[in-house]
Structure 1
Protein backbone atom coordinates (compact mmCIF):
# COMPACT_ATOMS: atom_id res chain seq x y z
CA UNK A 1 0.00 0.00 0.00
CA UNK A 2 1.30 3.49 -0.90
CA UNK A 3 1.45 6.36 1.57
CA UNK A 4 -1.38 8.06 -0.33
CA UNK A 5 -3.46 4.89 -0.16
CA UNK A 6 -3.10 4.90 3.63
CA UNK A 7 -5.13 8.11 3.85
CA UNK A 8 -7.31 8.02 0.72
CA UNK A 9 -9.87 5.21 0.90
CA UNK A 10 -12.53 4.28 -1.66
CA UNK A 11 -15.86 5.91 -0.88
CA UNK A 12 -19.23 4.22 -1.19
CA UNK A 13 -21.38 5.83 -3.94
CA UNK A 14 -24.05 6.62 -1.33
CA UNK A 15 -21.70 9.25 0.10
CA UNK A 16 -21.05 11.40 -2.97
CA UNK A 17 -24.15 13.58 -2.64
CA UNK A 18 -23.47 14.19 1.06
CA UNK A 19 -19.86 15.16 0.42
CA UNK A 20 -21.10 17.47 -2.35
CA UNK A 21 -23.53 19.17 0.05
CA UNK A 22 -20.81 19.59 2.70
CA UNK A 23 -18.39 20.97 0.10
CA UNK A 24 -20.96 23.46 -1.22
CA UNK A 25 -21.75 24.61 2.32
CA UNK A 26 -18.00 25.03 2.92
CA UNK A 27 -17.72 27.43 0.00
CA UNK A 28 -20.56 29.52 1.43
CA UNK A 29 -18.93 29.50 4.87
CA UNK A 30 -15.65 30.77 3.40
CA UNK A 31 -17.56 33.64 1.80
CA UNK A 32 -19.09 34.50 5.17
CA UNK A 33 -15.99 34.12 7.34
CA UNK A 34 -12.77 32.18 6.69
CA UNK A 35 -12.62 30.38 10.09
CA UNK A 36 -16.11 29.02 9.42
CA UNK A 37 -14.90 27.83 6.05
CA UNK A 38 -12.09 25.82 7.61
CA UNK A 39 -14.63 24.27 9.96
CA UNK A 40 -16.56 23.27 6.86
CA UNK A 41 -13.43 21.71 5.39
CA UNK A 42 -13.06 19.56 8.50
CA UNK A 43 -16.70 18.45 8.32
CA UNK A 44 -16.37 17.65 4.61
CA UNK A 45 -13.32 15.47 5.28
CA UNK A 46 -15.22 13.75 8.10
CA UNK A 47 -18.16 13.07 5.75
CA UNK A 48 -15.80 11.54 3.19
CA UNK A 49 -14.29 9.23 5.80
CA UNK A 50 -17.71 8.32 7.17
CA UNK A 51 -18.67 6.87 3.78
CA UNK A 52 -15.31 5.19 3.18
CA UNK A 53 -15.52 1.63 1.87
CA UNK A 54 -12.06 0.05 2.22
CA UNK A 55 -11.18 -3.39 0.92
CA UNK A 56 -11.21 -6.14 3.53
CA UNK A 57 -9.46 -9.51 3.77
CA UNK A 58 -12.29 -11.96 4.45
CA UNK A 59 -11.27 -15.33 6.06
CA UNK A 60 -11.96 -18.26 3.72
CA UNK A 61 -12.02 -21.12 6.23
CA UNK A 62 -15.50 -22.74 6.32
CA UNK A 63 -17.58 -22.40 9.46
CA UNK A 64 -16.54 -18.90 10.51
CA UNK A 65 -18.80 -16.00 11.49
CA UNK A 66 -17.22 -12.56 10.99
CA UNK A 67 -18.19 -9.18 12.33
CA UNK A 68 -20.81 -7.41 10.18
CA UNK A 69 -19.59 -3.97 11.23
CA UNK A 70 -16.65 -1.88 12.33
CA UNK A 71 -16.96 -0.82 15.94
CA UNK A 72 -16.85 -2.12 19.50
CA UNK A 73 -18.59 -5.12 21.06
CA UNK A 74 -21.11 -3.46 23.37
CA UNK A 75 -23.31 -6.41 24.45
CA UNK A 76 -23.08 -10.21 24.64
CA UNK A 77 -26.23 -11.82 25.99
CA UNK A 78 -29.09 -14.23 25.38
CA UNK A 79 -32.06 -12.70 23.57
CA UNK A 80 -34.96 -13.69 21.31
CA UNK A 81 -34.41 -12.76 17.64
CA UNK A 82 -36.81 -10.21 16.08
CA UNK A 83 -40.18 -11.94 15.74
CA UNK A 84 -40.62 -10.67 12.17
CA UNK A 85 -37.87 -13.10 11.05
CA UNK A 86 -39.85 -16.13 12.19
CA UNK A 87 -36.90 -17.81 13.91
CA UNK A 88 -38.96 -18.88 16.91
CA UNK A 89 -39.31 -17.80 20.56
CA UNK A 90 -36.10 -19.40 21.89
CA UNK A 91 -33.36 -17.08 23.11
CA UNK A 92 -30.05 -17.19 21.21
CA UNK A 93 -26.66 -15.68 21.92
CA UNK A 94 -26.63 -12.11 20.63
CA UNK A 95 -23.46 -10.14 19.96
CA UNK A 96 -23.91 -6.38 19.46
CA UNK A 97 -21.36 -4.22 17.64
CA UNK A 98 -21.75 -0.48 18.27
CA UNK A 99 -20.61 1.91 15.53
CA UNK A 100 -19.66 5.49 16.38
CA UNK A 101 -19.84 8.30 13.83
CA UNK A 102 -16.11 7.75 13.19
CA UNK A 103 -16.42 4.10 12.13
CA UNK A 104 -16.82 2.83 8.58
CA UNK A 105 -20.57 2.18 8.22
CA UNK A 106 -20.65 -0.28 5.32
CA UNK A 107 -22.15 -3.53 6.65
CA UNK A 108 -20.94 -7.00 5.60
CA UNK A 109 -22.63 -10.38 5.82
CA UNK A 110 -21.38 -12.37 8.85
CA UNK A 111 -21.67 -15.82 7.24
CA UNK A 112 -22.13 -17.43 3.84
CA UNK A 113 -25.62 -18.60 3.00
CA UNK A 114 -29.03 -17.84 1.51
CA UNK A 115 -31.08 -14.85 2.64
CA UNK A 116 -34.41 -16.29 3.77
CA UNK A 117 -36.02 -13.11 5.14
CA UNK A 118 -35.49 -9.35 5.12
CA UNK A 119 -37.80 -7.42 7.45
CA UNK A 120 -37.83 -3.68 8.10
CA UNK A 121 -39.57 -2.26 11.19
CA UNK A 122 -39.91 1.46 12.01
CA UNK A 123 -39.21 2.58 15.56
CA UNK A 124 -37.49 5.04 17.86
CA UNK A 125 -33.99 6.53 17.69
CA UNK A 126 -32.61 5.78 21.15
CA UNK A 127 -28.90 5.53 21.90
CA UNK A 128 -27.88 2.39 19.98
CA UNK A 129 -25.56 1.26 22.79
CA UNK A 130 -28.57 0.65 25.08
CA UNK A 131 -30.00 -2.86 25.42
CA UNK A 132 -33.57 -1.69 24.74
CA UNK A 133 -32.50 -0.29 21.36
CA UNK A 134 -32.79 -3.84 20.00
CA UNK A 135 -36.52 -3.78 20.73
CA UNK A 136 -37.55 -0.13 20.45
CA UNK A 137 -35.39 1.35 17.67
CA UNK A 138 -35.91 1.37 13.93
CA UNK A 139 -34.33 -1.77 12.52
CA UNK A 140 -33.83 -3.96 9.49
CA UNK A 141 -33.38 -7.68 10.14
CA UNK A 142 -32.01 -10.46 7.92
CA UNK A 143 -32.28 -14.22 8.41
CA UNK A 144 -29.58 -16.30 6.73
CA UNK A 145 -29.73 -20.04 6.12
CA UNK A 146 -26.20 -21.41 6.42
CA UNK A 147 -24.78 -24.10 4.16
CA UNK A 148 -25.39 -26.70 6.91
CA UNK A 149 -29.06 -25.70 7.27
CA UNK A 150 -28.74 -23.75 10.51
CA UNK A 151 -30.02 -20.16 10.76
CA UNK A 152 -28.22 -16.99 11.76
CA UNK A 153 -29.65 -13.47 11.98
CA UNK A 154 -28.11 -10.03 11.61
CA UNK A 155 -30.01 -6.86 12.52
CA UNK A 156 -29.22 -3.28 11.51
CA UNK A 157 -30.35 -0.89 14.26
CA UNK A 158 -30.66 2.88 13.95
CA UNK A 159 -29.23 5.09 16.70
CA UNK A 160 -29.45 8.64 18.03
CA UNK A 161 -27.98 10.20 14.90
CA UNK A 162 -28.83 7.51 12.35
CA UNK A 163 -31.87 8.33 10.26
CA UNK A 164 -31.58 5.92 7.33
CA UNK A 165 -30.95 2.18 7.11
CA UNK A 166 -29.98 0.87 3.67
CA UNK A 167 -30.07 -2.82 2.75
CA UNK A 168 -29.34 -4.32 -0.68
CA UNK A 169 -29.84 -7.99 0.23
CA UNK A 170 -33.00 -9.67 -1.07
CA UNK A 171 -34.84 -12.83 0.05
CA UNK A 172 -33.61 -15.86 -1.88
CA UNK A 173 -30.24 -14.28 -2.64
CA UNK A 174 -27.09 -16.38 -2.13
CA UNK A 175 -24.34 -14.30 -0.54
CA UNK A 176 -20.77 -14.85 0.55
CA UNK A 177 -19.29 -14.20 3.96
CA UNK A 178 -18.00 -10.63 4.13
CA UNK A 179 -20.07 -9.45 1.15
CA UNK A 180 -21.46 -5.93 1.47
CA UNK A 181 -25.20 -5.97 2.19
CA UNK A 182 -26.06 -2.55 3.63
CA UNK A 183 -25.14 0.74 5.24
CA UNK A 184 -26.47 2.89 8.07
CA UNK A 185 -25.95 6.61 8.41
CA UNK A 186 -24.77 8.15 10.82
CA UNK A 187 -23.93 6.05 13.91
CA UNK A 188 -25.72 2.89 14.97
CA UNK A 189 -25.37 -0.80 15.82
CA UNK A 190 -25.55 -4.31 14.40
CA UNK A 191 -26.72 -7.42 16.27
CA UNK A 192 -25.75 -10.96 15.31
CA UNK A 193 -27.84 -13.87 16.63
CA UNK A 194 -25.74 -17.03 16.63
CA UNK A 195 -27.16 -20.55 16.13
CA UNK A 196 -27.98 -22.44 19.31
CA UNK A 197 -24.86 -23.91 20.89
CA UNK A 198 -22.41 -21.56 19.14
CA UNK A 199 -20.41 -19.37 21.51
CA UNK A 200 -18.82 -16.03 20.54
CA UNK A 201 -15.05 -15.74 20.43
CA UNK A 202 -14.96 -12.02 21.20
CA UNK A 203 -15.10 -9.99 24.40
CA UNK A 204 -16.95 -6.90 25.56
CA UNK A 205 -15.09 -3.78 24.47
CA UNK A 206 -13.21 -5.57 21.70
CA UNK A 207 -12.63 -3.58 18.51
CA UNK A 208 -14.16 -5.24 15.44
CA UNK A 209 -13.39 -4.93 11.73
CA UNK A 210 -16.26 -5.73 9.37
CA UNK A 211 -15.64 -8.79 7.22
CA UNK A 212 -12.34 -9.59 8.96
CA UNK A 213 -12.68 -10.10 12.72
CA UNK A 214 -13.83 -13.64 13.55
CA UNK A 215 -16.86 -13.31 15.82
CA UNK A 216 -17.56 -17.04 16.27
CA UNK A 217 -16.80 -20.50 14.88
CA UNK A 218 -19.68 -22.75 13.90
CA UNK A 219 -17.45 -25.78 14.40
CA UNK A 220 -13.78 -26.68 14.90
CA UNK A 221 -12.61 -25.83 11.40
CA UNK A 222 -8.86 -25.45 11.87
CA UNK A 223 -6.68 -22.46 10.86
CA UNK A 224 -8.22 -19.22 9.63
CA UNK A 225 -5.36 -17.41 7.92
CA UNK A 226 -6.50 -17.97 4.30
CA UNK A 227 -8.47 -14.93 3.09
CA UNK A 228 -9.80 -13.12 0.04
CA UNK A 229 -9.65 -9.36 -0.41
CA UNK A 230 -12.79 -7.47 -1.43
Structure 2
Protein backbone atom coordinates (compact mmCIF):
# COMPACT_ATOMS: atom_id res chain seq x y z
CA UNK A 1 0.00 0.00 0.00
CA UNK A 2 1.44 3.35 -1.00
CA UNK A 3 1.58 6.34 1.31
CA UNK A 4 2.86 9.88 1.35
CA UNK A 5 6.35 9.80 2.82
CA UNK A 6 7.64 12.61 4.98
CA UNK A 7 5.87 15.89 4.21
CA UNK A 8 8.40 18.52 3.17
CA UNK A 9 8.83 21.46 0.82
CA UNK A 10 12.52 22.42 0.75
CA UNK A 11 15.37 19.91 0.81
CA UNK A 12 17.35 19.50 3.99
CA UNK A 13 20.71 21.25 3.69
CA UNK A 14 19.48 23.75 1.09
CA UNK A 15 18.42 26.61 3.41
CA UNK A 16 21.53 28.74 2.89
CA UNK A 17 21.23 28.47 -0.91
CA UNK A 18 17.87 30.25 -0.61
CA UNK A 19 18.50 32.50 2.40
CA UNK A 20 21.64 34.23 1.06
CA UNK A 21 20.16 35.63 -2.20
CA UNK A 22 16.90 36.41 -0.38
CA UNK A 23 18.69 38.47 2.29
CA UNK A 24 20.80 40.26 -0.33
CA UNK A 25 17.59 41.07 -2.20
CA UNK A 26 15.98 42.49 0.94
CA UNK A 27 19.01 44.65 1.79
CA UNK A 28 19.27 45.86 -1.82
CA UNK A 29 15.56 46.75 -1.81
CA UNK A 30 15.93 48.81 1.38
CA UNK A 31 19.01 50.54 -0.03
CA UNK A 32 17.26 51.28 -3.35
CA UNK A 33 14.38 52.97 -1.49
CA UNK A 34 16.69 54.98 0.75
CA UNK A 35 18.89 56.17 -2.10
CA UNK A 36 16.21 56.21 -4.84
CA UNK A 37 18.55 54.04 -6.89
CA UNK A 38 17.25 52.19 -9.93
CA UNK A 39 20.43 50.05 -10.28
CA UNK A 40 20.01 48.81 -6.70
CA UNK A 41 16.34 48.08 -7.42
CA UNK A 42 17.46 46.00 -10.42
CA UNK A 43 20.02 44.16 -8.26
CA UNK A 44 17.36 43.45 -5.61
CA UNK A 45 15.00 41.92 -8.15
CA UNK A 46 17.80 39.85 -9.66
CA UNK A 47 18.59 38.32 -6.26
CA UNK A 48 14.89 37.71 -5.54
CA UNK A 49 14.73 35.83 -8.84
CA UNK A 50 17.77 33.77 -7.85
CA UNK A 51 16.10 32.94 -4.51
CA UNK A 52 12.96 31.75 -6.33
CA UNK A 53 15.06 29.61 -8.69
CA UNK A 54 16.86 28.09 -5.69
CA UNK A 55 13.49 27.22 -4.13
CA UNK A 56 12.54 25.44 -7.35
CA UNK A 57 15.89 23.65 -7.63
CA UNK A 58 15.78 22.49 -4.00
CA UNK A 59 12.11 21.54 -3.81
CA UNK A 60 11.40 18.34 -1.93
CA UNK A 61 7.78 17.26 -2.47
CA UNK A 62 6.15 14.36 -0.61
CA UNK A 63 5.88 11.12 -2.56
CA UNK A 64 3.40 8.24 -2.67
CA UNK A 65 5.74 5.28 -2.17
CA UNK A 66 5.54 2.65 -4.91
CA UNK A 67 5.59 -1.13 -4.81
CA UNK A 68 8.65 -3.38 -4.90
CA UNK A 69 12.07 -1.77 -5.23
CA UNK A 70 11.59 1.95 -5.87
CA UNK A 71 13.76 4.43 -7.71
CA UNK A 72 16.30 6.25 -5.53
CA UNK A 73 16.26 9.33 -7.77
CA UNK A 74 14.25 11.45 -10.16
CA UNK A 75 15.53 11.44 -13.71
CA UNK A 76 16.05 9.24 -16.75
CA UNK A 77 17.29 5.66 -16.73
CA UNK A 78 20.73 5.83 -18.31
CA UNK A 79 21.83 2.20 -18.06
CA UNK A 80 20.32 -1.17 -17.17
CA UNK A 81 22.58 -4.19 -16.69
CA UNK A 82 20.43 -7.22 -15.92
CA UNK A 83 23.46 -9.47 -15.50
CA UNK A 84 25.13 -7.40 -12.77
CA UNK A 85 21.89 -5.96 -11.39
CA UNK A 86 23.12 -2.41 -11.92
CA UNK A 87 20.74 0.46 -12.64
CA UNK A 88 22.00 3.99 -13.40
CA UNK A 89 19.83 7.12 -13.37
CA UNK A 90 20.79 10.52 -14.77
CA UNK A 91 19.47 13.49 -12.76
CA UNK A 92 19.12 16.68 -14.78
CA UNK A 93 19.28 20.12 -13.21
CA UNK A 94 15.46 20.46 -13.33
CA UNK A 95 14.84 17.19 -11.45
CA UNK A 96 14.25 16.96 -7.70
CA UNK A 97 17.72 16.55 -6.19
CA UNK A 98 16.76 14.55 -3.09
CA UNK A 99 17.47 10.81 -3.17
CA UNK A 100 15.44 8.13 -1.39
CA UNK A 101 15.97 4.61 -0.08
CA UNK A 102 14.93 2.02 -2.70
CA UNK A 103 14.22 -0.59 -0.03
CA UNK A 104 13.75 -0.95 3.71
CA UNK A 105 16.84 -1.93 5.66
CA UNK A 106 19.76 -0.97 7.87
CA UNK A 107 22.61 1.27 6.74
CA UNK A 108 25.77 -0.78 7.19
CA UNK A 109 28.22 1.48 5.38
CA UNK A 110 28.51 5.09 4.20
CA UNK A 111 31.69 5.91 2.30
CA UNK A 112 32.76 9.08 0.49
CA UNK A 113 35.30 8.79 -2.34
CA UNK A 114 37.12 11.77 -3.88
CA UNK A 115 37.26 12.00 -7.65
CA UNK A 116 36.69 14.07 -10.76
CA UNK A 117 33.63 15.86 -12.11
CA UNK A 118 33.02 14.35 -15.53
CA UNK A 119 29.50 14.55 -17.01
CA UNK A 120 27.24 12.03 -15.26
CA UNK A 121 26.27 10.40 -18.57
CA UNK A 122 29.88 9.64 -19.57
CA UNK A 123 31.84 6.43 -18.97
CA UNK A 124 34.27 8.35 -16.76
CA UNK A 125 31.52 9.25 -14.28
CA UNK A 126 32.18 6.17 -12.12
CA UNK A 127 35.51 7.78 -11.17
CA UNK A 128 33.81 11.00 -10.07
CA UNK A 129 33.45 12.10 -6.48
CA UNK A 130 30.78 9.86 -4.95
CA UNK A 131 29.09 8.64 -1.79
CA UNK A 132 28.28 4.93 -1.51
CA UNK A 133 25.50 3.90 0.88
CA UNK A 134 25.09 0.17 1.55
CA UNK A 135 21.71 -0.95 2.89
CA UNK A 136 21.32 -4.43 4.35
CA UNK A 137 17.80 -5.49 3.39
CA UNK A 138 15.83 -8.71 3.73
CA UNK A 139 17.01 -9.54 0.20
CA UNK A 140 20.67 -8.90 0.96
CA UNK A 141 22.93 -5.86 0.58
CA UNK A 142 21.87 -3.09 -1.81
CA UNK A 143 24.26 -0.28 -2.66
CA UNK A 144 23.13 3.23 -3.63
CA UNK A 145 25.89 5.32 -5.22
CA UNK A 146 25.44 9.10 -5.38
CA UNK A 147 27.72 10.48 -8.09
CA UNK A 148 28.77 14.10 -8.51
CA UNK A 149 28.90 15.50 -12.03
CA UNK A 150 29.99 18.44 -14.15
CA UNK A 151 27.72 20.97 -12.40
CA UNK A 152 27.01 19.09 -9.17
CA UNK A 153 29.98 19.56 -6.87
CA UNK A 154 28.51 18.62 -3.51
CA UNK A 155 26.87 15.47 -2.18
CA UNK A 156 24.96 15.77 1.10
CA UNK A 157 24.18 12.38 2.70
CA UNK A 158 21.38 12.37 5.28
CA UNK A 159 22.15 8.92 6.71
CA UNK A 160 24.86 7.37 8.85
CA UNK A 161 26.03 3.91 9.79
CA UNK A 162 23.52 1.98 11.89
CA UNK A 163 20.39 3.90 10.83
CA UNK A 164 17.33 1.85 9.92
CA UNK A 165 15.58 3.14 6.81
CA UNK A 166 12.04 2.83 5.59
CA UNK A 167 11.51 2.40 1.86
CA UNK A 168 11.25 5.83 0.29
CA UNK A 169 12.97 7.61 3.17
CA UNK A 170 15.24 10.48 2.19
CA UNK A 171 18.90 9.43 2.20
CA UNK A 172 20.68 12.45 0.76
CA UNK A 173 20.89 15.17 -1.85
CA UNK A 174 23.16 15.91 -4.80
CA UNK A 175 23.36 19.67 -5.26
CA UNK A 176 22.12 20.56 -8.78
CA UNK A 177 21.61 16.93 -9.75
CA UNK A 178 23.93 14.40 -11.41
CA UNK A 179 23.68 10.61 -11.24
CA UNK A 180 22.67 7.74 -8.97
CA UNK A 181 23.52 4.07 -9.47
CA UNK A 182 21.91 1.15 -7.62
CA UNK A 183 23.50 -2.27 -7.30
CA UNK A 184 20.64 -4.75 -6.79
CA UNK A 185 20.81 -8.07 -4.91
CA UNK A 186 20.64 -11.28 -6.98
CA UNK A 187 16.98 -11.85 -6.10
CA UNK A 188 15.86 -8.61 -7.75
CA UNK A 189 14.88 -8.23 -11.41
CA UNK A 190 15.11 -4.74 -12.91
CA UNK A 191 11.80 -3.85 -14.58
CA UNK A 192 12.54 -0.43 -16.11
CA UNK A 193 14.12 0.29 -19.49
CA UNK A 194 16.86 2.62 -20.62
CA UNK A 195 15.46 6.05 -21.46
CA UNK A 196 12.49 5.67 -19.10
CA UNK A 197 11.73 8.55 -16.74
CA UNK A 198 11.50 7.68 -13.04
CA UNK A 199 10.57 9.43 -9.80
CA UNK A 200 12.32 8.87 -6.48
CA UNK A 201 10.26 6.76 -4.09
CA UNK A 202 7.35 6.39 -6.52
CA UNK A 203 8.49 4.48 -9.58
CA UNK A 204 8.95 0.73 -9.14
CA UNK A 205 12.29 -0.19 -10.71
CA UNK A 206 12.71 -3.77 -9.49
CA UNK A 207 10.74 -6.80 -8.38
CA UNK A 208 11.65 -9.77 -6.24
CA UNK A 209 12.31 -13.00 -8.12
CA UNK A 210 10.95 -15.86 -6.03
CA UNK A 211 12.00 -18.73 -8.29
CA UNK A 212 15.65 -18.52 -9.25
CA UNK A 213 16.98 -20.78 -12.01
Q: Please classify the TM superposition score into its range, dividing by the shorter chain length.
A: 0.7 to 0.9
Q: Which residue of 2 aligns with 1:49?
A: 56
- Counterpart check, 1:183 vs 2:150: no
C-alpha contact (below 8 Å) 2:108/2:136 kept by paired residues: yes
Find the residue that maps to 2:14 and give its secondary structure.
helix
**What do you get for the CA RMSD once the two structures are aligned?**
2.2
Distance 2:76 2:44 in 1: 33
Q: Which residue of 2 aligns with 1:219?
A: 209
Q: Which residue of 2 aligns with 1:119?
A: 111
Q: Could you give the per-residue CA deviations for residues 180-229 of structure 1, whole angstroms, max 9, x where no partner exists?
A: 11111022111011122533111112111110100101236xxxxxxxxx
Counterpart pick for 1:96 among 85, 88, 95: 88
Distance 1:213 1:104 in 2: 14
Alignment of 1:80-159 (within 5 A): 92-134=84-126, 136-148=127-139, 150-159=140-149
Distance 1:119 1:17 in 2: 25
Larger radius of gyration: 2
The count of aligned residue pairs is 195
Q: Could you give the per-residue CA deviations for residues 103-124 of structure 1, whole angstroms, max 9, x where no partner exists?
A: 1111100111111211110111
Provide the TM-score with structure 1 as the length reference. 0.76
Distance 1:101 1:10 in 2: 18
Quote the offset at 1:36 in angstroms: 5.3
Q: Which residue of 2 aligns with 1:202?
A: 192
Q: Could you give the per-residue CA deviations for residues 150-175 of structure 1, whole angstroms, max 9, x where no partner exists?
A: 22111000011112111122222221
Provide the TM-score with structure 2 as the length reference. 0.82
- Counterpart check, 1:173 vs 2:163: yes
Quote the offset at 1:34 in angstroms: 5.0
Q: Which residue of 2 aligns with 1:71?
A: 75
Deviates more, 1:36-45 or 1:190-199: 36-45
C-alpha contact (below 8 Å) 1:14/1:51 kept by paired residues: no
Distance 1:154 1:13 in 2: 19
Query: Where does structure 1 lack aligned partners over 5 or more consecutive residues?
Result: 1-8, 79-90, 221-230
